[in-house]
Structure 1
Amino acid sequence: MIPKVIYTADLSETPDKQRLTAWRHAWQAMHPEWDVVALTLDTRPPVLNHDQWRQTFGLSEPAASAARLNLLRYEVLAREGGVFVDPDRLPLRPLDELVAGVGAFCSTIASHGASRPHMLSPSVLGATRNHPMLWHAIRDLPHSVLVYRGVWDQSGPGFLTRVVRDHGHFRDVVPFHWAIFEHGEDAARAHGGAFAFVQAKAAEVVA
């Protein structure tokens, strides 16, 4: 069973704490029985892929924070389980039904060029503690950072899609194709899927 804890993180060197507080409030209000945790560079746990973590500080923003977010999410979920959500994602409905009876799930992204339709995305990623997909991700990440360019393929959707495909986890990781992120609540609700998340702009999160 996926533990009832929701994580996010702002891993920039100057985190927007007001934004994180607003994010935590939005998720906690819809998930009163869940733990909701917002991490920063000062509060994050240690990471196993330390060399790759250190390399992110040589990147410019927002790539640096995005790379660190991906490294952290795989390791936190592998050790603790739960759901890890990007800090610009706000819920339209509770996750309780989504996680019931599911060992792991991820969101998808509908397009990144015609050659890559419906890729898996870690933007909303959930799993039981010690799920093998996550440990495969942690093991494969150093090689991915070495041979690929750009956060998308090194640790983001391109990477997660390869991990699930190459290690056969398509059998046990549920891709929620209808959990598509829309720019605004009206568009997300109009999508009609069972689960949707608003992709909020910073101003909308802190409002």
Structure 2
Amino acid sequence: MIPKTLHIIWVGDESKRPDNCIDTWRVHNPDWELRIWGNAELMSYGWYNADHIRAMSGRELNGVADIMRWEILFREGGFVVDADSICRRPLEPWLFDCEACACWENEIIRPGLIAAGYVASEAQNPFFRQLILDLKEKPTVIDRMAWQSVGPLYLTEAHRKYHYIDLTVWPSHFFIPQHYSGIRYSGKGPVFADQEWGSTRRNYDELHTRSVA
């Protein structure tokens, strides 16, 4: 089963870590363990793809988080959520009644693209093991943008390549009700979180100071 552990990754300038956003996950889900992966864990955990992490750290920290994400899911299991996300309601047990799950980025603007910011899995999942192994074989991960080489597109292409049919993919509005393009879900389905698109909008300098309640 998927452990009731929430993982949030924040590497780089920890003075700008959006604890206001992170706290919303703690408040709405008190029965979940919350683990924050920061600079100390980045340096000490013993990452299988440490070489790629070092290369990516000089370019896109969101790409560093993606590489870490796949190893955390495989080794620890649980639910990895973006640091710049705001939880709006408690997570429901039925969301995790599977071996792994994620959500679409947006069915209209980005049809078929699986988001990397909200992914859950049992530990030792062979699909996420394969993601890690495939990254190891890449001569470089900085030949393209991080979302392509290690993030959502990488996840989506692997999902198709390996025909991983046991990945439950939830509607985007569960966790990304508003896309960075501006299109917003207005239906009556459940919305568990909002996404602030910190890397895309480059708003990390002020996000941590904002009221998000």
Q: Identify the range of structure 1 (65-74 vs 174-183) with the bigger mean alpha-carbon deviation.
A: 174-183
Match of 1:133 among 127, 138, 159: 127
Give the structure 2 partner of residue 50 of structure 1: 50
Distance in 2 between the 1:39 and 1:54 partners? 16
- Alpha-carbon RMSD across the aligned residues, in angstroms, is 2.6
TM-score (norm 1): 0.83
Count, aligned residues: 196
**SS of residue paired to 1:164:** helix
TM-score (norm 2): 0.81
Give the structure 1 partner of residue 199 of structure 2: none
- 1:15 counterpart = 2:9: no
- 1:81 counterpart = 2:80: no
Partners of 2:175 and 2:195 within 8 A in 1: no
- 1:6 counterpart = 2:1: no
How big is each residue's C-alpha offset from its partner over 1:146-187, in whole Å with a ceiling of 9 and x where there is no partner?
Answer: 375111110111100011111121x10011124351349xx9
Give the structure 2 partner of residue 159 of structure 1: 154
Identity %: 22
Q: Where do 5+ consecutive residues of structure 2 fail to align?
A: 197-202
Q: Where do 5+ consecutive residues of structure 1 fail to align?
A: none
Change (3 A) 1:41 1:204: closer
Higher relative contact order (CA 8 A, sep 6+): 2
More helix by percentage: 1
Runs of 4+ deviating beyond 6 Å: none
**SS of residue paired to 2:40:** coil
Partners of 1:111 and 1:117 within 8 A in 2: yes
How big is each residue's C-alpha offset from its partner over 1:117-140, in whole Å with a ceiling of 9 and x where there is no partner?
Answer: 231111100001111111011011
How far 1:141 moved relative to its partner? 1.6
Q: Identify the range of structure 1 (195-204 vs 27-36) with the bigger mean alpha-carbon deviation.
A: 195-204
